[in-house]
Amino acid sequence: MRVTVFSIFPEIVEAYCSVSLVGRARAGGRLELSCIDIRDFAIDRHRSVDDVPYGGGAGMVMKPEPIFSAVEATEPPRPLYLLAPWGRRFDQAFAHELSELEGFSLLCGRYEGGDGRVEEHLVDGAISLGDFVLAGGEIAAMAVIEATVRLLPSVLGNPASLEEESFSGTELEYPQYTRPAVFRGMEVPEVLLGGNHAQIAKWRAETAARRTQAHRPDLASD
């Protein structure tokens, strides 16, 4: 899979995506990631990428010239998504959709966002992590990349992990435990220690249902 990220802080994305699961996916040839510095396409000697908004208002707006030039010079894999609050809410289903593509690209905004012509004429859509504000799109881009890349074949050591985790179905995942069986007086549920797989499966299903009802009732089955 090819992924291209446009940012004025590409080193943030590059550093994060060079370690752990995403880093292993890159090293193993499952992910080809390019991080493009939008400032490299600025048209003045100060490498300016923002300016005051027409009509007044607080903050600065990212200029269209360096963004358009960066995309046109790179010819990134499409679709190209802007990380923006008006975008489609990112979830596990969206991650699965992206994982089935040959590639996609992400544009990280900063300041008060990008010039409206970027939204209107350059990108193919937008992605939002939720109803909160970040300083820029880099954290959102890294979340999208990791959630998507981990779904690619051979990236996870145990593919079965994908089948039982939260949001793969309609409920949250049940809690997990490991050794020691007793830690500071806190014990692992006895059913998990007995080796009866039918009882374990029943406990996990019931616990997942209770956890979902308690924390995410919107996901709970009728």
Could you give the domains of the chain?
A: 2-149 (3.40.1280.10), 170-219 (1.10.1270.20)
Asked whether the beta carbons of 146 and 152 are under 8 A apart, the reply is: no
Q: How many helices (H) and strands (E) does the chain have?
A: 8, 9
Which one, of 8, 6, 72, lies nearest residue 33 by Cα?
A: 6
pLDDT (tens digit, 9 = 90+) per residue, 66-101?
999 999 999 999 999 999 999 999 999 999 999 999
Residue in this structure with the two tokens 């899979």, named with its chain if needed:
1
Which is it for the CA torsion 83, 88, 92, 97, positive or negative? negative
User: Could you read off the pLDDT of 168-188 as tens digits, one per residue?
Assistant: 667 899 999 999 999 999 999
Q: Where in 8-60 does DSSP place strands (E)?
A: 32-37, 50-51
Report pLDDT for 169: 63
pLDDT of residue 170: 74
